[in-house]
């Protein structure tokens, strides 16, 4: 024990200076950034040297406490949504308009396939966060890809759907995921490039893992972005065990990876794991959008969950912190129908320059009270005072940006030249369905 403690102490003492040295050295690799460190998952990891990152050792988990995802299932909370905050389960959608949008133009991965040159540009800006996490991701990725190709023998005896669903959920939570749900597979949410990989699949297991709380509060920062990528590594590791369980029962599993092969939010909402926030992300009741979501599609006969009204649309209407605090003014409080879904829409062309130059930014998650306090505390405050906990306080809404602190009433002044870049000029402005887009 003393020997291990001593070894850990030596590593801990060495970790900070090593990190500082690497922070200086790593930028020298910048020309390779987008094809190596910046490239992470199946969609982007094309350079021949990328797989060798798996040979680079990582710090042991206890020494990664500044960025580690907290493992363990969220405790079951019985949420009493105040009457004034109730609205609708999940989100409002027009299925016919969703289908029409899909027929007209199936979804594609935005940065990897729709605008790959923007993907390269963005990754050149934020790749330093990925440097320390890359070996862990690269050790997991080959297994994710391998298990997705396994064709198990069909089951001789079909298990009871209730029993199998319970087993999968208990396994996922026992492995340390924060929450898990089941949704119906829907090809509409699949990225076009992966259509053929899920033939015959009709269920999607939605895996959620909370991100490190303290790291998120420092966003935008390398630490916060590392925590995000590290959470992906942790969640992919657990996907592998879930897929192995499905295979033992004789069912296929297609594991999505860190690059993403489908839209995750519609599935997470359908599985009752949260609702869509004005920041364009899934807000879970415990940690808001401070979490990562990953999907496994399967042909197993699992029982689907259902959308829930967590009161989030009205919490957002009373809050709007992300809209006020976004340095790019890229978020809107106005909802409309986009591809058949009633939501506010991010102005991507404004968000990306800020994101690229500020470690993935993510201020819209950090200033969110659901991320900071969780829904039970927000409801309690709302019942008591009729206001949203932390609204317009420096504690919640203040952030550091480019070395300067911005309190709740001030945000960085970024001139036109900051956004007026040829690389993002081709991204169309968001237009609601009624606008003919």
Confirm if 192 and 305 have CB atoms less than 8 A apart. no
Position among 328, 341, 389, 424 found at the interface with ligand SF4 (CB under 6 A): 328
Confirm if 108 and 188 have CB atoms less than 8 A apart. no
Confirm if 11 and 66 have CB atoms less than 8 A apart. no
- Closest separation in Å from C-beta 81 to ligand SF4: 14
Position among 262, 286, 321, 341 found at the interface with ligand SF4 (CB under 6 A): 321
- Check residue 168 and report its DSSP letter: H
Asked if 233 touches ligand SF4 (CB under 6 A), the answer is no
Neighbours of 71 (CB within 10 A): 14
Position among 69, 270, 326, 375 found at the interface with ligand SF4 (CB under 6 A): 326
* Alpha-carbon gap, residue 57 to 60, rounded angstroms: 9
Burial of 163 (0-12, 13-18, 19+ CB in 10 A): exposed
Position among 363, 375, 389, 424 found at the interface with ligand SF4 (CB under 6 A): 363
Asked if 277 touches ligand SF4 (CB under 6 A), the answer is yes
Asked if 322 touches ligand SF4 (CB under 6 A), the answer is yes
Asked if 302 touches ligand SF4 (CB under 6 A), the answer is no
Asked if 282 touches ligand SF4 (CB under 6 A), the answer is no
* Alpha-carbon gap, residue 261 to 402, rounded angstroms: 33
Position among 367, 375, 389, 424 found at the interface with ligand SF4 (CB under 6 A): 367
* Alpha-carbon gap, residue 30 to 128, rounded angstroms: 9
Asked if 144 touches ligand SF4 (CB under 6 A), the answer is no
Q: How far is CA 325 from the centre of its chain?
A: 20
Asked if 308 touches ligand SF4 (CB under 6 A), the answer is no
- Closest separation in Å from C-beta 363 to ligand SF4: 4
Asked if 286 touches ligand SF4 (CB under 6 A), the answer is no
Residues in 71-130 that interact with ligand SF4 by CB under 6 A: none
Confirm if 155 and 163 have CB atoms less than 8 A apart. no
* Alpha-carbon gap, residue 339 to 183, rounded angstroms: 20
Stretch that binds ligand SF4, among 142-150, 186-194, 199-207, 314-322 (CB under 6 A): 314-322
HSE at residue 406, side-chain half, CA atoms within 13 A, is 20
Asked if 278 touches ligand SF4 (CB under 6 A), the answer is yes
Residues found near ligand SF4 in the complex (CB under 6 A): 277-279, 283, 315-316, 319-322, 326-328, 330-331, 346, 351, 354-355, 361-364, 367-370
């Amino acid at each position: 024990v003393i020997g291990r403690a001593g070894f850990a102490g030596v590593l801990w003492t060495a970790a900070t200076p090593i990190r500082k040295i690497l922070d200086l050295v790593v930028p020298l690799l910048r020309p390779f950034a987008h094809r190596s460190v910046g490239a992470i998952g199946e969609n982007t990891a094309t350079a021949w040297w990328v797989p060798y990152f798996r040979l680079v050792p990582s710090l042991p988990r206890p020494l990664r406490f500044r960025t580690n995802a907290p493992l363990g299932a969220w405790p079951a909370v019985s949420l009493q949504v105040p009457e004034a905050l109730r609205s609708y389960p999940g989100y409002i959608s027009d299925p016919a308009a969703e289908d029409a949008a899909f027929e007209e133009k199936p979804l594609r991965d935005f940065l990897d396939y729709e605008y790959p040159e923007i993907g390269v540009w963005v990754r050149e800006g934020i790749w330093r966060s990925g440097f320390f996490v890359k070996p862990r991701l690269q050790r997991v990725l080959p297994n994710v890809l391998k298990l997705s190709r396994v064709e198990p023998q069909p089951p001789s005896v079909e298990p009871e759907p209730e029993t199998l669903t319970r087993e999968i959920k208990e396994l996922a939570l026992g492995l340390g995921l924060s929450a898990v749900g089941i949704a119906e597979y829907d090809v509409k949410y699949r990225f076009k490039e992966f259509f053929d990989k899920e033939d015959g699949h009709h269920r999607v297991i939605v895996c959620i893992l909370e991100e490190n709380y303290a790291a998120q509060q420092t966003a935008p920062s390398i630490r916060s972005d590392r925590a995000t990528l590290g959470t992906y590594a942790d969640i992919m590791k657990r996907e592998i065990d879930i897929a192995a369980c499905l295979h033992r029962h004789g069912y296929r599993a297609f594991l999505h990876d860190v690059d993403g092969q489908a839209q995750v939010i519609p599935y997470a909402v359908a599985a009752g794991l949260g609702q869509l926030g004005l920041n364009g992300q899934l807000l879970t009741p415990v940690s808001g959008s401070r979490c990562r979501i990953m999907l496994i599609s399967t042909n197993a006969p699992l029982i689907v969950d259902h959308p829930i009204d967590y009161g989030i649309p009205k919490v957002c209407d009373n809050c709007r912190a992300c809209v006020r605090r976004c340095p790019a003014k890229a978020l809107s409080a106005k909802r409309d129908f986009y591809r058949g879904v009633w939501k506010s829409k991010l102005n991507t062309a404004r968000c990306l320059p800020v994101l690229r130059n500020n470690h993935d930014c993510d201020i819209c998650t950090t200033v969110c009270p659901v991320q900071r306090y969780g829904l039970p505390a927000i409801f309690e405050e709302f019942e008591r005072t009729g206001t949203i906990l932390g609204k317009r306080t420096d504690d919640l809404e203040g952030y550091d940006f480019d070395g300067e602190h911005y309190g709740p009433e001030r945000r960085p002044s970024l001139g036109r030249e900051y956004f007026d870049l040829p690389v993002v000029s081709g991204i169309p402005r968001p237009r609601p369905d009624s606008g003919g887009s």
